[in-house]
Amino acid sequence: MLSLRLQAIANLIKKDDVVADIGSDHGLLVNYLAIKGHCALYASENKKGPYNRLKSELKAYKSDIIEIDLADGLENLPARINTVVIAGMGGELIVSILQAHPAKLVNVQKLILAPHCNAKAVREVLNALNYSISYEEIVVEKEVFYEIIVAEQKAIATKEVNPYFGTYHLQARSENFIKMWTSVYNQNKRILSNKKLPLSRKEELLKEQELIEKVISEGEKV
Ligand SMILES: C[S@@+](CC[C@H](N)C(=O)[O-])C[C@H]1O[C@@H](n2cnc3c(N)ncnc32)[C@H](O)[C@@H]1O
């Protein structure tokens, strides 16, 4: 069984999507997709150890169902791929993977990105790569919040108005979005109660608290 986070990602994949899972690690997502009938899947790792592990995890699948590759990010992305998943890494790493081989994104209609931190960095870069955010979701699993961003290729991409909170989230105001920012707000409050906190960090956090307060209590729209 997939975790709630991986299941939420799998639910965003349609029947006709030809999927690459970059940084596939355990291979659970592609394994699940193969069982669901997806073919021409691609799963990659950029280090030998994780790559060999991935190969042994997926040994039941013939290479005509899942192509397993030792590659850095998108460097070997096959032209057949129209959907790229990059999940379980920091936002900056996801950004560097997307920016390293822009030509490889030409046929990629949909990106499913699940940064475990700094979703802002991801939202900020999508417009320059010709993608617009079409959907966002926050999954809560064992009291941890996981953000999932879906972006689609556009001839002229729509600029993200609020990369910090996410324009999509500010409009949808889902229960988990409010819960996540309430949790960040309470965590910041605890940090701010530390009398030894450097002044610059205190000022930064107080500014953040002001923004979060507006969003969670006043229903700030974009
Ligand atoms: C924490 S795991 C996430 C696994 C899986 N995607 C998930 O969401 O559960 C991140 C994986 O990305 C791999 N990785 C990191 N940088 C990469 C890169 N540039 N190209 C391919 N894989 C990378 C790591 O080796 C690691 O196995």
Q: Which of 3, 6, 45 to mutate to test the pocket of ligand 1 (most atoms within 8 A of CB)?
A: 45
pLDDT at 220: 55
Task: Give the residue, by CA position, lying nearest to ligand 1 atom 7.
Answer: 88
**Ligand 1 centroid to residue 219 C-alpha, Å:** 36
Confidence grade of residue 60 (pLDDT, cut at 50, 70, 90): confident
* Distance in angstroms (rounded) separating the CA atoms of residues 30 and 46: 17
φ, ψ dihedrals at 53, nearest 5°:
-65, -45
pLDDT digits (tens, 9 = 90+) for 28-50: 999 999 999 999 999 999 999 99
Query: What is the average pLDDT score of the chain?
Result: 95
CA 175, 180, 184, 190 torsion-angle sign: positive
Please tell me if the CB atom of residue 125 comes closer than 6 angstroms to any atom of ligand 1: no
pLDDT at 222: 47
Q: Are strands 144-153 and 110-117 parallel, antiparallel or unpaired?
A: antiparallel
Alpha-carbon distance values, 153 to 8, 195, 200 (Å): 21, 48, 39
Task: Average the pLDDT over 153-172 and give the result.
Answer: 93
pTM more than 0.85? yes
Task: Average the pLDDT over 157-169 and give the result.
Answer: 93
Q: Which of 21, 46, 68 to mutate to test the pocket of ligand 1 (most atoms within 8 A of CB)?
A: 46
Least confident of 68-72, 153-157, 190-194, 208-212: 153-157
Task: Average the pLDDT over 114-130 and give the result.
Answer: 97
Please tell me if the CB atom of residue 88 comes closer than 6 angstroms to any atom of ligand 1: yes
